[in-house]
Structure 1
Amino acid sequence: MANRVLDKIMERADQIRELGPANERLGRLDDKAATLLRDAGVIRLLQPEAHGGLEVHPREFAETVLGIAALDGSTGWIAGIVGVHPWEMAYADPKVREEVWGEDPDTWIASPYAPMGIARPVDGGYVFNGRWQFSSGTDHCDWIFLGGMLGDDEGKMAQPPRSLHLILPRSDYEIVEDSWNVAGLQGTGSKDIIVKDAFVPTYRTLEYSKVVDGSAPREAGLTNPAYLMPFSCVFPLGISAAVIGIAEGALYHHMAYQRNRVQITGTKIKDDPYVLYAISEAAEEIKASRTALLDNCSRMYDMVASGHVPTFAERAAGRRTQVRAAWRAVQAMNEIVVRSGGNAMRTDNPIQRFWRDAHVGLAHAIHVPGSVYHVSALTDLDIEPPQGPMRSMI
């Protein structure tokens, strides 16, 4: 099924490439780019079949994101971020699933999950307030997942801390225009979100602890292994796939640009052994990054398909693989971009856009290696990692 989606995307590859500069100028996806994703079924890849989705293997979702990101970074980023939200919605309350998809299975859902809001308990639910950054693709979405902390009666954070994912319709939040001014991924429109005194009924919430430990989909009665995979594997999957795909796109444009290039010294690139060496090395490093990401996804899928619930140590090792794959791809991309010559940095050359997009994508919180490497090393040593923030990305 996903192969057919990717085939549809590849039939429109030239259109997606050509829309890259327009996405940047708008500071969000051009409506034509969003329509291309919608018509191809990209955002329905991980959506349940019962709600008009394709319910594919997450590896196929990642392969599709990789392919799109190689055409345009911002479009691939939206495919990866917005495309993963139906996966979590699959185990939300049936009532909210019907609200979101009942009339239109192509309804898109935004985020972010960072717990930047306070949810004060009231009869039947919560009164929710907060402000969030980085809501990718939000202009094209009609619902949103937002992270929040449980509050007390005074609206302050309750103790001990307890985190929720809350689901809100477009009428309950404000998109802050002109809040996405960045060096790369400009076309993602990852704007700020404000919520003021919105009532969120209990059925539109998920316990973050149950999302992370995998009990939420099991309590919802799901049996498809795709939905039983760890959140810490599936949520970063689209983001890391986008970054690696962007590196593949940079390689593609570098090769096209270098094919007939003559350096200022008069040496043709095809006759420069040092540049040729760098091209080959980068190509293999980027390919290894793709392979590692996809293999990790398949391994997690096979694990849960066999009935095994991944341990914390297994989740930590999987996150280490994802983080390293993204860093490896971007570092390899750097080696060829710096050998592309000064004209590659002109704004009409797509190489510089892919270079900027990759670095901004790598700056996403899920790619910060410190805590992930720290925790995975401790688990490898059979030492219990500390509680708290060190575990937050695992």
Structure 2
Amino acid sequence: MVRAGCGEVWEVLSEVANEVLAAVRELLPDIAARAEWVDESRRLPADVVGRLTESGVFRMLQPRRYGGAECDPGLFYEVIRELSGACGSTGWVASVLGVHPWHLALFPDAAQKDVWGADPDALVCSAYAPIGRLEPVEGGFELSGKWQFSSGCDHASWALLGAMVIGAEGRPVDFLTVLVPRSDYVVNDVWDVVGMRGTGSNEIVVGQAYVPEHRVKRNYETTRLVGPGQKVNRGPLYRLPFGTIFTTAVTVPIVGTVAGCFDRYVGAMQERVRLSLGGGRFVEDPFAQVAVARASSEIDASVLQTERNVAALWDLARRGEELPMALRLRARRDQVRATERALEAIDLLFKTAGGASLARGNRIERAWRDAHAAGVHVANEPERALALYGRGVFGLPVEDTLV
């Protein structure tokens, strides 16, 4: 159960999180003004990352023991939605780099000290696909591999990488996430894509690196909601499922991007006059009115369902109660549906804007590209997640690292 006095603690931490939101809102006009530059440059400017660091975004899910806010994750996602509304790439990088302190908090305390002991503002990137190769050696493992799609890695001094332990017969025997310092890997600038161009999601290469035992976390344990870091980070935040916290972090930027586009779309269309289909003001077209209604409903549903599930899990964790699999599956179901709904909404806006949405650099065009690019992340595959929910409803066993 929650210890006496915890209510006051959470009120203070919520106040800190609200201060972060206020600081971020002051940055939004400049972030929106630089969105085209970010898109063309394929990375976030260092000063933008620095200002996000100063505002406290990257410490929202970081343990209090290392200067973090350790706040309600719902507040973190609210910040990410607003950032994404100004610039999809900025929101995506802030979300991905901002969620990693939560995962690192599940590692042994020695690993946390390695990262935050000297610099509480140290950033951690990731590439979770278990394609690295781990060979057991004395005191740890020897790691090698090449990973794609590590968002924001240019700004990080550590990386969380997925890898397989190779047994005596040359077959994988375990799947792990390992923590590696920047000195042990090379970043190759290969990110040149159609959408989310400014995320700098480049390639990480480890030729051969020693990984001590304390910088390793078993994926199986993470799925079971346990980790050595819970011995020192006892708050409810670190008893929540990776399958909710991380996957929501890759959906919220999409929803925020689309929500921001909706606001700009409404403003841009106020004075538009059709040059065909009989002319007339765009806002008086009933088909445009229906499209706006449908798009706004999809956005609202995405936000409301996501908030409901995260709040329900957070409430149970704060009370020290079990997190039922049915709720974890529902959160995963609604997370992928939030992505689907956001994409349906942006498609409606893009289509009804007509030729006005086609010019390169147009905000509607960029939001459309960004949302669809982010939508192909493995955590946003709807069929996989929806099938898991169906298995649970039918009483079948569910085994997946993203639940």
| Contact residue 105 and residue 230 of structure 2 kept, 8 A | no
| Contact residue 218 and residue 228 of structure 1 kept, 8 A | no
1:172 maps to what in 2? 184
Q: 2 CA distance for matches of 1:140 and 1:371?
A: 32
Of stretches 40-49 and 93-102 in structure 1, the one that deviates more from structure 2 is: 93-102
Normalising by the residue count of structure 2, what TM-score does the alignment of the two structures yield?
0.92
Aligned match for 2:218, one of 207, 217, 242: 207
Alignment partner of 1:186 is 2:197: yes
Q: 2 CA distance for matches of 1:341 and 1:370?
A: 31
2:321 maps to what in 1? 308
1:18 maps to what in 2? 33
Q: After TM superposition, give the deviation of residue 106 of structure 1 in Å.
A: 1.0
Of stretches 211-220 and 222-231 in structure 1, the one that deviates more from structure 2 is: 211-220
**1:62-211 to 2 correspondences below 5 Å:** 62-152=77-167, 156-158=170-172, 161-177=173-189, 179-211=190-222
1:274 maps to what in 2? 287
| Contact residue 242 and residue 402 of structure 2 kept, 8 A | no
| Contact residue 16 and residue 72 of structure 1 kept, 8 A | yes
Name stretches of at least 5 consecutive residues in structure 2 with no aligned partner.
1-15
- Counterpart secondary structure, 2:162: strand
| Contact residue 175 and residue 193 of structure 1 kept, 8 A | yes
Q: 2 CA distance for matches of 1:111 and 1:229?
A: 19
Aligned match for 1:34, one of 40, 46, 49: 49
2:23 maps to what in 1? 8
Q: After TM superposition, give the deviation of residue 264 of structure 1 in Å.
A: 1.4
Aligned match for 2:257, one of 221, 246, 249: 246
Q: 1 CA distance for matches of 2:244 and 2:201?
A: 22
Of stretches 318-327 and 341-350 in structure 1, the one that deviates more from structure 2 is: 341-350
Q: After TM superposition, give the deviation of residue 271 of structure 1 in Å.
A: 1.5
| Contact residue 6 and residue 64 of structure 1 kept, 8 A | yes
- For 2:180, the aligned partner's letter is L
Q: After TM superposition, give the deviation of residue 182 of structure 1 in Å.
A: 1.0
Alignment coverage as a number of residue pairs = 386
Q: 2 CA distance for matches of 1:100 and 1:362?
A: 31
- Counterpart secondary structure, 1:346: coil
2:68 maps to what in 1? 53
Of stretches 369-378 and 57-66 in structure 1, the one that deviates more from structure 2 is: 369-378
Alignment partner of 1:345 is 2:354: no
Q: After TM superposition, give the deviation of residue 217 of structure 1 in Å.
A: 5.6
Residues 194-216 of structure 1 show CA distances to partners (whole Å, capped at 9, x for unaligned) of 11110000011111111111011
> What root-mean-square deviation, in Å, do the aligned CA atoms of Structure 1 and Structure 2 show?
1.5
Q: 2 CA distance for matches of 1:320 and 1:119?
A: 33
Q: After TM superposition, give the deviation of residue 139 of structure 1 in Å.
A: 0.2
| Contact residue 125 and residue 202 of structure 1 kept, 8 A | yes
| Contact residue 107 and residue 229 of structure 2 kept, 8 A | no
Alignment partner of 1:334 is 2:347: yes
Identity of aligned residues (%): 33
Q: 1 CA distance for matches of 2:368 and 2:119?
A: 36
- For 2:23, the aligned partner's letter is K
Q: After TM superposition, give the deviation of residue 221 of structure 1 in Å.
A: 4.7
| Contact residue 211 and residue 217 of structure 1 kept, 8 A | no
1:393 maps to what in 2? 402
Of stretches 196-205 and 26-35 in structure 1, the one that deviates more from structure 2 is: 26-35
- Counterpart secondary structure, 1:147: strand
- For 2:219, the aligned partner's letter is Y
| Contact residue 63 and residue 69 of structure 2 kept, 8 A | yes
Residues 46-67 of structure 1 show CA distances to partners (whole Å, capped at 9, x for unaligned) of 0111111111100101111111
1:360 maps to what in 2? 373
- Counterpart secondary structure, 1:338: helix
Of stretches 99-108 and 74-83 in structure 1, the one that deviates more from structure 2 is: 99-108
Q: 1 CA distance for matches of 2:159 and 2:130?
A: 13
- For 2:199, the aligned partner's letter is T
Q: 1 CA distance for matches of 2:228 and 2:381?
A: 27
Alignment partner of 1:256 is 2:256: no
- For 2:80, the aligned partner's letter is V
| Contact residue 19 and residue 33 of structure 1 kept, 8 A | no
Q: 2 CA distance for matches of 1:3 and 1:277?
A: 35
2:6 maps to what in 1? none
- For 1:228, the aligned partner's letter is R
1:66 to 1:217, Cα distance in 2 relative to 1, 3 A? farther
Q: 2 CA distance for matches of 1:318 and 1:343?
A: 37
Q: After TM superposition, give the deviation of residue 232 of structure 1 in Å.
A: 0.5
- For 1:343, the aligned partner's letter is A
Residues 337-371 of structure 1 show CA distances to partners (whole Å, capped at 9, x for unaligned) of 11112122212311100110000111110110112
- For 2:108, the aligned partner's letter is D
Of stretches 342-351 and 105-114 in structure 1, the one that deviates more from structure 2 is: 342-351
- Counterpart secondary structure, 2:227: helix
Q: 2 CA distance for matches of 1:252 and 1:182?
A: 26
Aligned match for 2:389, one of 359, 363, 376: 376
Q: 2 CA distance for matches of 1:271 and 1:113?
A: 49
Q: After TM superposition, give the deviation of residue 252 of structure 1 in Å.
A: 1.6
